[in-house]
Chains A and B, each alone.
Chain A
Protein backbone atom coordinates (compact mmCIF):
# COMPACT_ATOMS: atom_id res chain seq x y z
CA UNK A 1 0.00 0.00 0.00
CA UNK A 2 1.50 3.30 -1.07
CA UNK A 3 1.58 6.08 1.49
CA UNK A 4 -0.86 8.39 -0.31
CA UNK A 5 -3.73 5.90 -0.59
CA UNK A 6 -6.16 6.29 2.28
CA UNK A 7 -5.84 3.49 4.80
CA UNK A 8 -9.03 1.50 4.63
CA UNK A 9 -9.30 -1.54 6.79
CA UNK A 10 -11.27 -4.17 4.89
CA UNK A 11 -11.82 -6.13 8.10
CA UNK A 12 -13.22 -3.42 10.33
CA UNK A 13 -16.45 -5.34 11.08
CA UNK A 14 -14.44 -8.48 11.80
CA UNK A 15 -12.18 -6.58 14.19
CA UNK A 16 -15.02 -4.88 16.08
CA UNK A 17 -17.02 -8.11 16.46
CA UNK A 18 -13.93 -10.09 17.46
CA UNK A 19 -13.00 -7.50 20.06
CA UNK A 20 -16.45 -7.92 21.52
CA UNK A 21 -16.41 -11.72 21.32
CA UNK A 22 -12.91 -12.53 22.61
CA UNK A 23 -13.55 -11.60 26.29
CA UNK A 24 -16.84 -13.53 26.16
CA UNK A 25 -15.08 -16.62 24.78
CA UNK A 26 -12.44 -16.41 27.51
CA UNK A 27 -15.16 -15.96 30.13
CA UNK A 28 -17.02 -18.98 28.73
CA UNK A 29 -13.80 -21.00 29.04
CA UNK A 30 -13.65 -20.24 32.76
CA UNK A 31 -17.36 -21.04 33.10
CA UNK A 32 -16.73 -24.43 31.48
CA UNK A 33 -13.74 -24.93 33.77
CA UNK A 34 -15.43 -24.18 37.07
CA UNK A 35 -18.89 -25.44 36.14
CA UNK A 36 -17.49 -28.78 35.01
CA UNK A 37 -18.58 -30.36 38.29
CA UNK A 38 -22.22 -29.60 37.48
CA UNK A 39 -22.50 -29.70 33.71
CA UNK A 40 -20.56 -30.93 30.72
CA UNK A 41 -17.02 -29.67 30.42
CA UNK A 42 -13.85 -29.60 32.41
CA UNK A 43 -10.21 -28.70 32.14
CA UNK A 44 -9.63 -30.06 28.65
CA UNK A 45 -12.55 -28.33 26.97
CA UNK A 46 -11.95 -25.12 28.92
CA UNK A 47 -8.28 -25.14 27.95
CA UNK A 48 -9.13 -25.51 24.28
CA UNK A 49 -11.71 -22.71 24.42
CA UNK A 50 -9.29 -20.39 26.24
CA UNK A 51 -6.63 -21.14 23.63
CA UNK A 52 -9.15 -20.48 20.86
CA UNK A 53 -9.86 -17.02 22.27
CA UNK A 54 -6.14 -16.16 22.03
CA UNK A 55 -5.90 -17.77 18.56
CA UNK A 56 -8.86 -15.69 17.37
CA UNK A 57 -7.04 -12.62 18.69
CA UNK A 58 -3.93 -13.68 16.78
CA UNK A 59 -5.90 -14.27 13.57
CA UNK A 60 -7.55 -10.85 13.69
CA UNK A 61 -4.85 -8.63 15.20
CA UNK A 62 -1.69 -10.47 14.19
CA UNK A 63 0.61 -13.00 15.78
CA UNK A 64 2.95 -10.37 17.26
CA UNK A 65 0.12 -8.75 19.19
CA UNK A 66 -1.00 -12.14 20.50
CA UNK A 67 2.55 -12.92 21.55
CA UNK A 68 2.66 -9.68 23.52
CA UNK A 69 -0.59 -10.58 25.29
CA UNK A 70 0.33 -14.23 25.85
CA UNK A 71 4.14 -14.42 25.69
CA UNK A 72 5.86 -17.62 24.51
CA UNK A 73 7.92 -17.69 27.72
CA UNK A 74 4.68 -17.98 29.68
CA UNK A 75 3.55 -20.84 27.41
CA UNK A 76 6.78 -22.77 27.93
CA UNK A 77 6.30 -22.53 31.68
CA UNK A 78 2.56 -23.26 31.51
CA UNK A 79 3.00 -26.48 29.55
CA UNK A 80 5.07 -28.09 32.25
CA UNK A 81 3.41 -26.32 35.17
CA UNK A 82 0.07 -27.98 34.42
CA UNK A 83 1.52 -31.49 34.37
CA UNK A 84 3.51 -30.64 37.49
CA UNK A 85 0.33 -29.46 39.22
CA UNK A 86 -1.46 -32.70 38.33
CA UNK A 87 1.41 -34.98 39.30
CA UNK A 88 2.14 -32.83 42.36
CA UNK A 89 -1.40 -33.37 43.62
CA UNK A 90 -0.76 -37.10 43.40
CA UNK A 91 2.50 -36.78 45.29
CA UNK A 92 0.90 -34.61 47.98
CA UNK A 93 -1.83 -37.26 48.41
CA UNK A 94 0.98 -39.77 48.69
CA UNK A 95 2.75 -37.80 51.39
CA UNK A 96 -0.48 -37.34 53.35
CA UNK A 97 -0.90 -41.07 53.63
CA UNK A 98 -3.09 -42.00 50.66
CA UNK A 99 -2.32 -43.63 47.34
CA UNK A 100 -1.10 -41.64 44.34
CA UNK A 101 -3.99 -39.39 43.19
CA UNK A 102 -6.25 -40.51 46.04
CA UNK A 103 -7.74 -37.10 46.84
CA UNK A 104 -9.71 -38.30 49.86
CA UNK A 105 -6.78 -37.64 52.21
CA UNK A 106 -6.25 -34.05 51.03
CA UNK A 107 -8.74 -32.45 53.46
CA UNK A 108 -10.29 -33.15 56.82
CA UNK A 109 -13.02 -35.30 55.29
CA UNK A 110 -12.96 -37.43 52.17
CA UNK A 111 -15.56 -35.53 50.11
CA UNK A 112 -13.85 -32.18 50.65
CA UNK A 113 -10.57 -33.83 49.73
CA UNK A 114 -12.11 -35.13 46.50
CA UNK A 115 -13.43 -31.66 45.66
CA UNK A 116 -10.05 -30.03 46.30
CA UNK A 117 -8.21 -32.67 44.34
CA UNK A 118 -10.49 -32.43 41.32
CA UNK A 119 -10.31 -28.62 41.39
CA UNK A 120 -6.51 -28.64 41.38
CA UNK A 121 -6.03 -31.31 38.74
CA UNK A 122 -8.59 -29.67 36.44
CA UNK A 123 -6.59 -26.46 36.83
CA UNK A 124 -3.48 -28.40 35.85
CA UNK A 125 -5.22 -29.81 32.76
CA UNK A 126 -6.44 -26.30 31.84
CA UNK A 127 -2.91 -24.87 32.10
CA UNK A 128 -1.30 -27.63 30.05
CA UNK A 129 -3.96 -27.77 27.34
CA UNK A 130 -4.10 -23.99 26.85
CA UNK A 131 -0.32 -23.73 26.70
CA UNK A 132 0.15 -26.68 24.35
CA UNK A 133 -2.57 -25.54 21.92
CA UNK A 134 -1.05 -22.05 21.82
CA UNK A 135 2.47 -23.49 21.54
CA UNK A 136 1.46 -25.54 18.48
CA UNK A 137 -0.29 -22.53 16.95
CA UNK A 138 2.68 -20.23 17.62
CA UNK A 139 5.12 -22.84 16.32
CA UNK A 140 3.30 -23.21 12.99
CA UNK A 141 2.25 -19.57 12.71
CA UNK A 142 5.73 -18.17 13.36
CA UNK A 143 7.37 -20.00 10.48
CA UNK A 144 5.90 -17.96 7.66
CA UNK A 145 4.99 -14.33 7.18
CA UNK A 146 1.27 -13.68 7.24
CA UNK A 147 -0.14 -13.83 3.74
CA UNK A 148 -2.64 -11.50 2.14
CA UNK A 149 -6.30 -12.44 1.72
CA UNK A 150 -5.95 -13.16 -1.99
CA UNK A 151 -3.24 -15.80 -1.46
CA UNK A 152 -5.52 -18.29 0.27
Chain B
Protein backbone atom coordinates (compact mmCIF):
# COMPACT_ATOMS: atom_id res chain seq x y z
CA UNK B 1 0.00 0.00 0.00
CA UNK B 2 2.79 2.41 0.89
CA UNK B 3 4.61 1.57 -2.35
CA UNK B 4 1.45 2.07 -4.33
CA UNK B 5 0.90 5.60 -3.07
CA UNK B 6 3.64 7.39 -5.08
CA UNK B 7 2.49 5.58 -8.21
CA UNK B 8 -1.02 6.83 -7.60
CA UNK B 9 0.19 10.35 -6.97
CA UNK B 10 2.62 10.52 -9.88
CA UNK B 11 0.14 11.15 -12.72
CA UNK B 12 -1.20 14.25 -10.95
CA UNK B 13 1.54 16.64 -12.07
CA UNK B 14 1.65 15.65 -15.79
CA UNK B 15 -2.13 15.74 -15.80
CA UNK B 16 -2.15 19.41 -14.77
CA UNK B 17 0.50 20.31 -17.32
CA UNK B 18 -1.39 18.58 -20.15
CA UNK B 19 -4.56 20.24 -18.93
CA UNK B 20 -2.88 23.66 -19.16
CA UNK B 21 -1.52 22.73 -22.59
CA UNK B 22 -4.98 21.66 -23.73
CA UNK B 23 -6.56 24.88 -22.44
CA UNK B 24 -3.84 26.93 -24.11
CA UNK B 25 -4.22 25.19 -27.47
CA UNK B 26 -8.02 25.34 -27.38
CA UNK B 27 -7.88 29.06 -26.51
CA UNK B 28 -5.58 29.57 -29.48
CA UNK B 29 -8.07 27.70 -31.68
CA UNK B 30 -10.91 29.97 -30.54
CA UNK B 31 -8.79 33.10 -31.09
CA UNK B 32 -7.82 31.97 -34.59
CA UNK B 33 -11.44 31.09 -35.38
CA UNK B 34 -12.60 34.59 -34.34
CA UNK B 35 -9.78 36.15 -36.35
CA UNK B 36 -10.93 34.16 -39.42
CA UNK B 37 -14.51 35.39 -38.92
CA UNK B 38 -13.41 39.02 -38.55
CA UNK B 39 -11.00 39.04 -41.53
CA UNK B 40 -11.90 40.38 -44.96
CA UNK B 41 -8.73 39.50 -46.89
CA UNK B 42 -9.18 35.98 -48.22
CA UNK B 43 -5.43 35.46 -48.47
CA UNK B 44 -5.05 36.06 -44.73
CA UNK B 45 -8.04 33.82 -44.05
CA UNK B 46 -6.50 30.93 -46.00
CA UNK B 47 -3.24 31.37 -44.10
CA UNK B 48 -5.08 31.46 -40.76
CA UNK B 49 -6.92 28.26 -41.69
CA UNK B 50 -3.51 26.65 -42.09
CA UNK B 51 -2.56 27.96 -38.64
CA UNK B 52 -5.82 26.61 -37.23
CA UNK B 53 -5.08 23.15 -38.66
CA UNK B 54 -1.56 23.20 -37.26
CA UNK B 55 -2.77 24.14 -33.76
CA UNK B 56 -5.46 21.46 -34.01
CA UNK B 57 -2.77 18.94 -35.00
CA UNK B 58 -0.72 19.92 -31.95
CA UNK B 59 -3.79 19.43 -29.79
CA UNK B 60 -4.41 15.98 -31.29
CA UNK B 61 -0.84 15.06 -30.34
CA UNK B 62 -1.55 15.92 -26.69
CA UNK B 63 -4.59 13.61 -26.94
CA UNK B 64 -2.26 10.81 -28.17
CA UNK B 65 -4.07 10.67 -31.52
CA UNK B 66 -0.83 10.79 -33.51
CA UNK B 67 -2.28 9.41 -36.74
CA UNK B 68 -5.07 11.99 -36.75
CA UNK B 69 -2.59 14.76 -35.93
CA UNK B 70 -0.38 13.64 -38.80
CA UNK B 71 -3.28 13.72 -41.24
CA UNK B 72 -4.46 17.10 -39.96
CA UNK B 73 -0.99 18.59 -40.37
CA UNK B 74 -0.45 17.14 -43.85
CA UNK B 75 -3.92 17.78 -45.25
CA UNK B 76 -5.25 20.75 -43.27
CA UNK B 77 -2.10 22.81 -42.91
CA UNK B 78 -0.33 21.54 -46.00
CA UNK B 79 -2.23 20.66 -49.11
CA UNK B 80 -5.59 22.34 -48.47
CA UNK B 81 -3.92 25.72 -47.91
CA UNK B 82 -2.31 25.44 -51.33
CA UNK B 83 -5.53 24.24 -52.95
CA UNK B 84 -7.43 27.15 -51.40
CA UNK B 85 -4.82 29.58 -52.74
CA UNK B 86 -5.07 27.97 -56.17
CA UNK B 87 -8.85 28.30 -56.04
CA UNK B 88 -8.51 31.92 -54.89
CA UNK B 89 -6.66 32.70 -58.13
CA UNK B 90 -9.99 32.14 -59.89
CA UNK B 91 -12.06 34.22 -57.46
CA UNK B 92 -12.00 37.48 -55.51
CA UNK B 93 -9.32 38.41 -52.98
CA UNK B 94 -11.67 40.17 -50.58
CA UNK B 95 -14.96 39.18 -49.02
CA UNK B 96 -17.61 41.86 -48.72
CA UNK B 97 -19.20 42.45 -45.32
CA UNK B 98 -22.81 41.25 -45.13
CA UNK B 99 -25.34 43.74 -43.69
CA UNK B 100 -26.67 42.91 -40.23
CA UNK B 101 -30.30 42.50 -41.35
CA UNK B 102 -29.29 39.46 -43.45
CA UNK B 103 -27.45 37.78 -40.58
CA UNK B 104 -30.38 37.01 -38.23
CA UNK B 105 -31.18 33.68 -39.95
CA UNK B 106 -27.62 32.33 -39.78
CA UNK B 107 -27.34 33.57 -36.18
CA UNK B 108 -30.46 31.61 -35.22
CA UNK B 109 -29.10 28.47 -36.91
CA UNK B 110 -25.77 28.82 -35.09
CA UNK B 111 -27.44 29.35 -31.70
CA UNK B 112 -29.79 26.39 -32.13
CA UNK B 113 -27.01 24.10 -33.34
CA UNK B 114 -24.76 25.25 -30.50
CA UNK B 115 -27.46 24.60 -27.89
CA UNK B 116 -28.10 21.16 -29.40
CA UNK B 117 -24.39 20.34 -29.09
CA UNK B 118 -24.28 21.60 -25.50
CA UNK B 119 -27.30 19.43 -24.77
CA UNK B 120 -25.40 16.41 -26.14
CA UNK B 121 -22.20 17.07 -24.15
CA UNK B 122 -23.25 15.22 -20.94
CA UNK B 123 -23.78 12.05 -23.01
CA UNK B 124 -20.16 12.05 -24.18
CA UNK B 125 -17.83 9.65 -22.32
CA UNK B 126 -15.23 11.21 -20.02
CA UNK B 127 -11.70 11.53 -21.38
CA UNK B 128 -9.97 8.16 -20.99
CA UNK B 129 -13.15 6.42 -19.82
CA UNK B 130 -12.47 2.67 -19.90
CA UNK B 131 -16.16 1.91 -20.40
CA UNK B 132 -16.74 4.27 -23.31
CA UNK B 133 -18.03 2.86 -26.59
CA UNK B 134 -14.62 3.17 -28.22
CA UNK B 135 -12.94 1.24 -25.41
CA UNK B 136 -15.44 -1.62 -25.28
CA UNK B 137 -17.13 -3.82 -27.92
CA UNK B 138 -14.95 -4.31 -31.04
CA UNK B 139 -12.28 -1.82 -29.95
CA UNK B 140 -10.98 -4.17 -27.29
CA UNK B 141 -11.20 -7.07 -29.77
CA UNK B 142 -8.99 -5.22 -32.27
CA UNK B 143 -6.42 -4.40 -29.59
CA UNK B 144 -6.38 -7.96 -28.28
CA UNK B 145 -6.28 -9.78 -31.60
CA UNK B 146 -4.03 -7.57 -33.75
CA UNK B 147 -0.88 -9.15 -32.33
CA UNK B 148 -1.96 -12.67 -33.31
CA UNK B 149 -4.10 -12.06 -36.39
CA UNK B 150 -2.33 -9.25 -38.25
CA UNK B 151 0.95 -9.00 -36.32
CA UNK B 152 1.51 -5.30 -36.79
CA UNK B 153 2.99 -2.95 -34.17
CA UNK B 154 0.73 -0.05 -35.18
CA UNK B 155 -2.79 -1.15 -34.38
CA UNK B 156 -4.22 1.90 -36.19
CA UNK B 157 -2.85 0.62 -39.51
CA UNK B 158 -4.17 -2.88 -38.81
CA UNK B 159 -7.64 -1.53 -38.03
CA UNK B 160 -7.73 0.87 -40.98
CA UNK B 161 -6.34 -1.46 -43.60
CA UNK B 162 -7.49 -4.88 -42.49
CA UNK B 163 -10.36 -4.91 -39.97
CA UNK B 164 -11.94 -1.83 -41.49
CA UNK B 165 -10.78 -2.48 -45.05
CA UNK B 166 -14.24 -1.80 -46.44
CA UNK B 167 -14.33 1.68 -44.89
CA UNK B 168 -10.90 2.56 -46.20
CA UNK B 169 -11.86 1.27 -49.63
CA UNK B 170 -14.87 3.56 -49.48
CA UNK B 171 -12.61 6.47 -48.54
CA UNK B 172 -10.31 5.77 -51.49
CA UNK B 173 -13.34 5.72 -53.79
CA UNK B 174 -14.59 9.01 -52.29
CA UNK B 175 -11.22 10.66 -52.95
CA UNK B 176 -11.26 9.25 -56.48
CA UNK B 177 -14.77 10.61 -57.00
CA UNK B 178 -13.70 14.04 -55.71
CA UNK B 179 -10.80 14.14 -58.16
CA UNK B 180 -13.04 12.92 -60.97
CA UNK B 181 -15.58 15.66 -60.22
CA UNK B 182 -12.94 18.39 -60.31
CA UNK B 183 -11.52 16.99 -63.55
CA UNK B 184 -14.94 16.88 -65.18
CA UNK B 185 -15.65 20.47 -64.13
CA UNK B 186 -12.27 22.10 -64.73
CA UNK B 187 -10.13 19.66 -66.74
CA UNK B 188 -6.47 18.89 -66.14
CA UNK B 189 -5.10 21.08 -68.90
CA UNK B 190 -6.41 24.60 -68.71
CA UNK B 191 -4.35 26.83 -70.95
CA UNK B 192 -3.16 29.05 -68.07
CA UNK B 193 -3.50 32.23 -70.09
CA UNK B 194 -1.27 31.05 -72.93
CA UNK B 195 -3.94 31.98 -75.46
CA UNK B 196 -7.27 33.72 -75.53
CA UNK B 197 -10.33 31.70 -76.36
CA UNK B 198 -13.83 32.61 -77.42
CA UNK B 199 -16.87 31.15 -75.63
CA UNK B 200 -16.80 28.02 -77.77
CA UNK B 201 -13.21 27.37 -76.74
CA UNK B 202 -11.73 28.30 -80.12
CA UNK B 203 -8.42 30.02 -79.97
CA UNK B 204 -8.31 33.67 -80.93
CA UNK B 205 -4.60 34.10 -80.41
CA UNK B 206 -1.62 31.91 -79.72
CA UNK B 207 0.64 34.73 -78.62
CA UNK B 208 2.63 32.86 -76.02
CA UNK B 209 1.77 29.27 -76.88
CA UNK B 210 5.03 27.31 -76.93
CA UNK B 211 4.26 25.27 -80.06
CA UNK B 212 2.46 27.96 -82.01
CA UNK B 213 3.71 26.96 -85.47
CA UNK B 214 2.35 23.43 -85.25
CA UNK B 215 -1.05 24.70 -84.13
CA UNK B 216 -1.58 26.72 -87.31
CA UNK B 217 -2.59 23.58 -89.17
CA UNK B 218 -5.82 23.32 -87.15
CA UNK B 219 -8.88 24.36 -89.18
CA UNK B 220 -10.68 26.01 -86.26
CA UNK B 221 -7.80 28.31 -85.61
CA UNK B 222 -8.24 32.03 -86.04
CA UNK B 223 -4.78 33.57 -86.05
CA UNK B 224 -5.50 36.63 -83.94
CA UNK B 225 -8.49 38.75 -82.99
CA UNK B 226 -7.82 41.44 -85.62
CA UNK B 227 -9.49 39.63 -88.51
CA UNK B 228 -12.74 39.39 -86.62
CA UNK B 229 -12.63 42.95 -85.43
CA UNK B 230 -12.16 44.11 -89.01
CA UNK B 231 -15.36 42.37 -90.08
CA UNK B 232 -17.27 44.25 -87.37
CA UNK B 233 -18.09 41.20 -85.27
CA UNK B 234 -16.84 41.77 -81.72
CA UNK B 235 -15.13 38.62 -80.51
CA UNK B 236 -16.64 37.53 -77.24
CA UNK B 237 -13.47 36.71 -75.46
CA UNK B 238 -13.50 34.92 -72.17
CA UNK B 239 -11.12 36.91 -70.07
CA UNK B 240 -8.22 34.63 -69.33
CA UNK B 241 -5.91 37.65 -69.32
CA UNK B 242 -2.48 37.80 -70.86
CA UNK B 243 0.16 35.41 -69.70
CA UNK B 244 2.80 36.91 -67.46
CA UNK B 245 5.15 33.99 -67.70
Q: Which residues of A contact B (CB under 8 A)?
A: 32, 36-42, 44-45, 48-49, 51-52, 55, 59, 62-64, 72, 75-76, 79-80, 82-83, 86-87, 90, 100-101, 103, 110-111, 114-115, 117-118, 121-122, 124-125, 128-129, 131-133, 135-148, 152
Contact = CB atoms under 8 A, between A and B. Distances in A.
A20 B43 CA distance: 27
Contact of B74 (A45, A115, A118, A145): A45
Contacts of A75: 188
A121 B167 CA distance: 12
Q: Kindly name the residue among A62, A76, A128, A142 whose own CB sees the greatest number of chain B CB atoms within 10 A.
A: A142
A23 B181 CA distance: 30
Nearest to B185: A139
A136 B153 contact: no
B175 A132 contact: yes
B162 A114 contact: yes
Given A55-B79, A101-B169, A144 B192 contact: yes
Question: Chain A interface secondary structure, helix, strand, loop or mixed?
Answer: helix
A64 to B, nearest CB: 8
B192 A42 contact: no
Interface in B136-162: 149-154, 156-158, 160-162
A139 B183 contact: yes
- Prevailing SS type, chain B contact patch: helix
A135 B154 contact: no
B181 to A, nearest CB: 10
Interface stretch (B3-11, B32-40, B64-72, B122-130): B64-72
Contact of A146 (B79, B180, B244): B244
A139 B125 CA distance: 43
B168 A38 contact: no
B86 A140 contact: yes
B156 A145 contact: no
B161 A122 contact: yes
B189 interface: yes
A45 B188 CA distance: 23
A79 to B, nearest CB: 5
Please indicate which of the listed interface residues B69, B165, B168, B186 has the most CB atoms of chain A within 10 Å of its own CB: B165
Interface stretch (B19-27, B97-105, B235-243): B235-243
Given A37-B152, A42-B161, A62-B245, A143 B90 contact: yes
Nearest to B175: A132
B152 A118 contact: yes
Interface of B: 43, 66-67, 69-71, 74-75, 78-79, 82-83, 86-87, 89-90, 93, 149-154, 156-158, 160-162, 165-166, 168-169, 171-173, 175-176, 178-180, 182-183, 185-194, 240-245
Q: Can you list the 4 inter-chain pairs with the closest CB atoms, starting with the nearest?
A: A145-B193, A132-B179, A142-B190, A140-B86
A42 B165 CA distance: 13
Contact of B162 (A39, A87, A118): A118
B162 A103 contact: yes
A83 B188 contact: no
B83 A138 contact: no
B154 A39 contact: yes
Contacts of B69: 40
A37 B154 contact: yes
Contacts of A86: 168-169, 172
Nearest to A41: B70
A32 B66 CA distance: 13
B156 A40 contact: yes
A118 to B, nearest CB: 4
Contacts of B66: 39-40
A136 B194 CA distance: 20
